[in-house]
Amino acid sequence: MAAAGTLLRGLPLVPSVVLLVAFLAGPILYCIYSAFTDMALTGSSSTEFVGFDNFVRAFTSPAFGQSVVYTVIFTVVSAIIGQNVLGMLLALLMRSGAKVVRALVSAIVIGAWVLPEVVAGYLWVAFLGPDGSLNGWLIGLGLPTQNWLFTTPILAVSLANIWRGTAFSMLVYSAALSEVPKEIEEAAVVDGAGPWRKLVSVTLPMLRRTIATNLMLITLQTLSVFGLIWTMTKGGPSDRSMTLPIYAYQQAFQFSDLGYGTALALVLLLIGGVFSVVYLRALRLEENP
Amino acid sequence: MATQVDRPARWRGMVAMAAAGVLAAGLTACGSDSGDGDANTITVSYRQWGDSRIQENYLTGVKTEFEKANPGVTVQLEPVVASEDDYFTKLQLQMRSPRTSPDVVYEDTFLINSDIEAGYLRPLDDQLADWPEWERFTETAKGAGKALDGKTYGIPDGTDTRGLWYNKELFAQAGLPADWQPRTWDEVLTAARAIKAALPGVIPFNIYAGKAVGESASMQGFEMLLYGTGDTLYDDASQKWVVGSKGFTDSLQFIKTVYDEGLGPSAQQVLDPNWNNTVNQQLLPQGKVVISLDGSWISQNWLDTGAAPWPQWSTVLGNAAWPTQQGQAPGRVSMSGGWTWAIPQNSDNPDMAWQLIALLGDKDRQLRWAVDNVQIPVRDDVATDPSYLQANPTNEFFASLVPITTYRPAYAVYPRISNEIQVATETVITGGDVAAAAQAYDEQVRAIAGDAVQPAP
Amino acid sequence: MTATDLPSRPRAAKAPAAPTTARPHRRWVGRSVVNAVLLVIAAGYVVPLLWVLLAAFNGTAGLGVDWPAPWTLDNFRAVLDEDTTYRPMWNGLVLCGSATIITMVCSVLAAYPLSRYRSRFKRPFLLTVLFSTGLPITAIMVPVYGLFVQLNLIDTTSGTILFMATTALPIAIWLAKNFMDAVPIELEEAAWTDGASPMKALRHVVLPLMWPGLAVVALYTFIGLWGNFFVPFILLLSNDQLPASVSIYTFFSQYGQVVYGELAAYSLLYSLPAVLLYLLLSRRLGGAFTFGGAVKG
């Protein structure tokens, strides 16, 4: 009875599991295997098992260490702080904004999200570049100008990624907020809680799960951002915006070292795993048995 | 959080829905076969650039001619619109499987050697032995598709060469001649200094450097210099990469001089990945760059159909060959790339595929391609054909560089070596030391190429 | 945008929540502040967008924010043809639309047991699936290509749809489960007492309550697939099956020259379906993006 019950309960999972097993399980295992080989799509006709060589090579390479640091900076600044906070801010503000304003703002924010990545990259180059509109205004205000992509490349790409990716957090938080029963918030107000207190002790705790899920998803997405950075800086200048995906791309694609590139990607996943564990702990989401 | 629910009887609806989902997944899995197992179909995969119809029209014409000459045979054109890296990934995946392999593929000379080493392509020496047309190809171009094993795997359909573009109007303002031809590197520097003195606010001499512009820095920049010093990147006789050459440090020093003296763009400018386009679409037409060391193709930007139409370009701009370091023979330097036609190992109709490649390699076809696509011809009879010479004002000049041009040693590790060249140039233009940059390069080359490295003579 | 902005916001948010306790004057001030802040953020968003808007109408667009000179529709004329826009757009709608529907059905079904029952396997299972999708797509596509050749799925729209749906599943399941968790179980229990099956409860009780969440999942899935270039590019060999994301490369020529004006014009057209889907969803679902009363729905 119990076993049959468990099986039946699991039935709705079947379509998903079938698709995942049929199309992803094998390729993923193969992919993990390839991280332990010298696999290449071109330049060599044989593939050999090389054990942990790819990982040893990564951890002894200064370029790798540097790219991990930039990846973490990029993720913390653009996803955890930027997209997450701005997304929440927008979602909260929109609850009481005028209808026209809401429609306008959300359409613009979504518009930034749906533009092709390479175009988003170009538009930020046009904005931040030496002759960009930002410098134009700085001149107008009598302030010193600079080539933002040259002086602070990692912040420039982070800013672009906040701009591009906040729509997702905004939508997730908006949807979650609309599911928060108004009565509870109203009760807090009747009890004399100030707005800040209401937010911190009533609204946000109710969104804990959503915040954790959102942080996890945007972290994973941001860790693997490639096209935007590639278009804007190609990881430069002097590798000062070389995040792990850029480094891995260069190795796997340009240098035809798929095995090493895949090993780098596994390390990237590990970093994502560490972030996720932190979120789940910090937001106390372990399900108690 | 979630409450335990245990009501098996109520699951019928959900079970039905789940089953429907699986069924749908199973049904749609019965796709159709699109492999080209048909021996009478020749599949041609090539990279299609931009939205211009030039290549498509050209190849469609060849297809019609070929099908007419070979009744019963169908040529199936499969253009691939993608970035270079993505194009190659797709091509390599297709070639790996006999069921999806094309019969004729378009291979960049930059990567053909890698694909040869991966065993994707067939040697064409047997066919070439019986092909009289091969005699018309210039000696340098014959090397475009030649591998380390001495066999030829690809037939070039054109190439590109590199040289100087300069603004004649601004030259006049700076007191420089309209028919300029520097004999040595120093003469280039002298001209650039004169421009800097006479025309403040312009970039006297654009030479690419740094990682952001990628292969442009290696090929249009550093290698143009190195191959004019008498030294080389790779020794063909011993099949080894050369390190520690004087030519290498001299070339770096030249680049450093240009940037340190403010004769070139600023490091900030050239370290922008879009710098090529900025120079060719904006700064050259606006007269803000006076001399540029660049490829034969950049006038494509300024045609009516180009990205930045500039009808006056052919009267404003002049061309000059890049000189050797001290004017030593042959006096001029050019580097070349370009594309070749090749037959994959997994082609199921290699004989017919060769027939098509042979047709693509004859004079009429190569002439048409060179004229329509502003290509630099690799056949001597095309290069001297009046209709080619008249097609574009710069054709004659850039075609004249073919006999002295050099193809890159584009073997499997070349992309890494090229990357290290870019790193070295980036070091020196951002204030780094030439000797240190050259030493770092040598160390990296040893790490990349292992035993296949030798010190300069 | 910094944390110091936070206090001003809930005060504004409070007004509609508790109208009886707020004086009309304060309410009006609060609303104005909210609208002003929103408009400032929107302005910050629009400024970088100017490039794409101006370049699309500029006959000589480059990488600078320049007023169009000449002002022209030529860029649109150049891209609006069968090969560049119409056919790829239609292919994209078929591919991404179908894949989104499959993903939605599968993820909602999967989310139900994952949200309602406890199992020690489910979190490890979900995490594995989620993290696996972060593997580099190039590395994944090598075996996937081999698999598709074996199964005779290569160059088929149906196979590509299934694979695209699968790649979108993990995140869709995560999101759907999260939104379903927020729906109180008591409402379902009431339905069961009335004799409804879990299936019915899901359809009539749970789903209506999580429309906003579902809209987000659908939008996210569609936009993710719409922007996916590499998967269809590798799995579909014939050009006439390729979706809109592939057309972007039409604007890059042999030596890397970019036709910025046409690229910008195309990007605007390319973004339309996603924006329309958003408008459709936010309209259709009424409360979804107007953030009020969905729970009472």
Q: Give the predicted TM-score (pTM) of the model.
A: 0.85
Asked if residue B52 has pLDDT above 60, the reply is yes
Is residue B432 within 8 A of residue B441, CB to CB? The reply is no
Task: State the nearest Cα–Cα gap between A240 and chain C, in angstroms.
Answer: 22
HEC-encoded secondary structure of chain A: CHHHHHHHHHHHHHHHHHHHHHHHHHHHHHHHHHCCECCCCCCCCCCCECCCHHHHHHHCCHHHHHHHHHHHHHHHHHHHHHHHHHHHHHHHHHCCCCHHHHHHHHHHHHHHHHCCHHHHHHHHHHHHCCCCHHHHHHHHCCCCCCCHHHHCHHHHHHHHHHHHHHHHHHHHHHHHHHCCCHHHHHHHHHCCCCHHHHHHHHHHHHCHHHHHHHHHHHHHHHHCCCHHHHHHCCCCCCCCCCCHHHHHHHHHHHCCCHHHHHHHHHHHHHHHHHHHHHHHHHCCCCCCC
Tell me the CATH number for domain B41-153+338-406. 3.40.190.10
Write out chain B residues lying below 8 Å of C84, CB-based.
51
Is residue B124 within 8 A of residue B137, CB to CB? The reply is no
Alpha-carbon distance C34 to C26, whole Å? 12
**Multiple choice CATH, A53-282, 1.10.3720.10, 3.30.70.60, 3.30.70.100, 3.40.50.2000:** 1.10.3720.10
Dihedral sign from CA coordinates of A29, A34, A40, A46: negative
Sheet containing strand B289-295, edge to edge, reads B203-206, B289-295, B162-167, B317-320
Is residue A55 within 8 A of residue A263, CB to CB? The reply is yes
Alpha-carbon distance B76 to B349, whole Å? 13
B/e letters for B87-117, b = 16+ CB within 10 Å, e = fewer, are: bbbbbbbbbbbebbbbbbbbbbbbbbbbbbb
* Closest partner CB to B79 (pick from C145, C162, C239): C239
Task: State the nearest Cα–Cα gap between A155 and chain C, in angstroms.
Answer: 16
Question: Which pLDDT belongs to residue A85?
Answer: 96
Alpha-carbon distance B219 to B334, whole Å? 9
Structural domain spans, chain A: 53-282
Q: Are residues C121 and C165 in the same domain?
A: yes
For residue C65, being part of any structural domain is answered with no
Encoding tokens for residue B218? 């290696």
Question: Which pLDDT belongs to residue B38?
Answer: 61
Question: Which pLDDT belongs to residue B363?
Answer: 95
Asked if residue B11 has pLDDT above 90, the reply is no
**CB neighbourhood size of B135 (10 A):** 9
CB contact under 8 A, B35 and C154: yes
- CATH 3.40.190.10 region(s) of chain B? 41-153+338-406, 162-336+410-455
Query: Token match 């790193």: residue?
Result: B423
Per-residue confidence band for A96, with pLDDT thresholds at 50, 70 and 90: confident
Least confident of B318-322, B428-432, C282-286: C282-286
Grouping H, G, I as helix, E, B as strand and the rest as coil, residue B106 is strand
DSSP C57: T
Per-residue confidence band for C293, with pLDDT thresholds at 50, 70 and 90: very low
Alpha-carbon distance B31 to B19, whole Å? 20
Is residue C62 within 8 A of residue C262, CB to CB? The reply is no
Contacts within 8 Å (CB) and 24+ apart, B276-281: B276/B208, B276/B213, B276/B216, B276/C255, B276/C256, B276/C257, B277/B307, B277/C62, B277/C63, B277/C256, B277/C257, B277/C258, B278/C62, B278/C63, B279/B206, B280/B308, B280/C257, B281/B307, B281/B308, B281/C62, B281/C257
What is the average per-residue pLDDT within A197-217?
86
Q: Which of A19, A24, A39, A42 to mutate to test the interface with B (most CBs of B within 10 A)?
A: A42
Contacts within 8 Å (CB) and 24+ apart, B226-230: B226/B251, B227/B333, B227/B335, B227/B406, B228/B185, B228/B322, B228/B323, B228/B324, B228/B325, B228/B328, B228/B333, B229/B324, B229/B325, B230/B325, B230/B328
For residue C63, being part of any structural domain is answered with no
Question: Which pLDDT belongs to residue C294?
Answer: 34
Grouping H, G, I as helix, E, B as strand and the rest as coil, residue B352 is helix
Query: Token match 């993290």: residue?
Result: C131
Q: Are residues C9 and C93 in the same domain?
A: no
Asked if residue A81 has pLDDT above 90, the reply is yes
CA dist B408 → B211, B405, C257 (Å): 18, 10, 22
**From the CA atom positions of chain B, what is the Rg in Å?**
26
Question: What tens digit of pLDDT does each residue of A118-128 get?
Answer: 889 888 988 88
Q: Are residues C112 and C12 in the same domain?
A: no
Strand pairing partners for B205?
A: B291
* Closest partner CB to A123 (pick from C48, C216, C282): C48
> What is the domain extent for residue C149?
79-289
For residue C225, being part of any structural domain is answered with yes
Alpha-carbon distance A230 to A117, whole Å? 10
Encoding tokens for residue A260? 């090493």
Pick left, alpha or beta for residue B268 (phi over 0 → left; psi -120 to 50 → alpha; otherwise beta): alpha
Directed axis angle between helix C122-132 and helix A208-223, to 10°? 30
Report CA B212 to chain centroid distance, whole Å.
16
Alpha-carbon distance B124 to B155, whole Å? 9
Which residues in chain C (66-95) have CB-CB distances under 8 A to chain A? none
Question: Which pLDDT belongs to residue C82?
Answer: 87
H/E stretch holding B246 reads: helix B246-260
Q: In B34-73, where do the E strands start and end? A: 41-47
H/E stretch holding B355 reads: helix B350-360
Per-residue confidence band for B9, with pLDDT thresholds at 50, 70 and 90: very low
Asked if residue A185 has pLDDT above 80, the reply is no
Which residues in chain C (119-138) have CB-CB distances under 8 A to chain B? 138
Task: State the nearest Cα–Cα gap between C267 and chain B, in angstroms.
Answer: 15
Asked if residue B453 has pLDDT above 70, the reply is yes
Q: Are residues C86 and C181 in the same domain?
A: yes
Tell me whether residue B355 is exposed, middle or buried, using C-beta atoms within 10 angstroms of its C-beta: 0 to 12, 13 to 18, 19 or more. Answer: middle
Write out chain B residues lying below 8 Å of C137, CB-based.
none
What is the average per-residue pLDDT within B24-42?
52
Asked if residue A102 has pLDDT above 90, the reply is no
Q: Does B81 touch chain A (CB under 8 A)?
A: no
Q: Are residues C32 and C91 in the same domain?
A: no
Question: What tens digit of pLDDT does each residue of B159-204 get?
Answer: 999 999 999 999 999 999 999 999 999 999 999 999 999 999 999 9
Q: In B152-261, where do the E strands start and end? A: 155-156, 162-167, 203-206, 234-235, 240-243
Measured CA angle at C123 (ends C122, C127), to 5 deg: 120
Question: Which pLDDT belongs to residue B364?
Answer: 94
Asked if residue A226 has pLDDT above 50, the reply is yes
Question: Which pLDDT belongs to residue C297?
Answer: 27
Q: Which of A41, A117, A150, A239 to mutate to test the interface with B (most CBs of B within 10 A)?
A: A41
State the ipTM, two decimals. Answer: 0.86
Question: Which pLDDT belongs to residue B307?
Answer: 79
What is the average per-residue pLDDT within A157-162?
95
Is residue C74 within 8 A of residue C230, CB to CB? The reply is no
Per-residue confidence band for A280, with pLDDT thresholds at 50, 70 and 90: confident
Alpha-carbon distance B124 to B138, whole Å? 17
- B319: phi then psi, degrees, rounded to nearest 5: -125, 145
Specify the CATH number for the domain of residue C187: 1.10.3720.10
* Closest partner CB to A15 (pick from B25, B92, B212): B25
Is residue B58 within 8 A of residue B372, CB to CB? The reply is yes
Grouping H, G, I as helix, E, B as strand and the rest as coil, residue B189 is helix
Q: Where is pLDDT greater, at C23 or A87?
A: A87
Question: What tens digit of pLDDT does each residue of C115-132 get?
Answer: 888 877 877 888 887 887
Encoding tokens for residue A136? 């134009």
Name the residue in chain A with its Cα closest to that of C286: A178
Q: Where is pLDDT greater, at A107 or B223?
A: B223
* Closest partner CB to C233 (pick from B2, B82, B297): B82
How many domains does the structure of chain C reveal?
Answer: 2
Name the residue in chain A with its Cα closest to that of B24: A15
Residue type, B230: G
For residue C254, being part of any structural domain is answered with yes
Per-residue confidence band for C6, with pLDDT thresholds at 50, 70 and 90: very low
CB contact under 8 A, C182 and A210: yes
Task: State the nearest Cα–Cα gap between C239 and chain B, in angstroms.
Answer: 7
Whether the upstream peptide bond of residue B330 has omega within 30° of 0, thus cis, is yes
Q: What is the DSSP string of B356-423?
A: HHHHHTSHHHHHHHHHHTTPBPSBHHHHT-HHHHHHSTTHHHHHTTGGGEEE----TTHHHHHHHHHH
CB contact under 8 A, B50 and C250: yes
Question: What tens digit of pLDDT does each residue of B323-342 get?
Answer: 999 999 899 999 999 999 99
Interface chains of chain B (3 or more CB pairs under 8 Å): A, C
**CB neighbourhood size of A227 (10 A):** 16
Asked if residue B30 has pLDDT above 70, the reply is no
Q: Are residues C166 and C259 in the same domain?
A: yes
Question: Which pLDDT belongs to residue B34?
Answer: 39
Name the residue in chain C with its Cα closest to that of B273: C256
CB contact under 8 A, C18 and A101: no
Residue A255: CB partners within 8 Å, gap ≥ 6? B415, B416, B419
What is the average per-residue pLDDT within C204-211?
84
Q: Which of A25, C258, A256, A249 is nearest to B91 (CA)?
A: A256
Residue C71: CB partners within 8 Å, gap ≥ 6? C57, C58, C59
B/e letters for B222-258, b = 16+ CB within 10 Å, e = fewer, are: bbbbbbbbebbbbbeeeeebbbbbebbbbbbbbbbbb
B117: Cα within 13 Å, side-chain hemisphere: 16
Alpha-carbon distance B204 to B265, whole Å? 8
What's the fold here for domain B162-336+410-455? D-Maltodextrin-Binding Protein; domain 2 (3.40.190)
Residue type, C100: T
Encoding tokens for residue C181? 């968790």
- Report strand pairing: B74-80 vs B240-243: unpaired
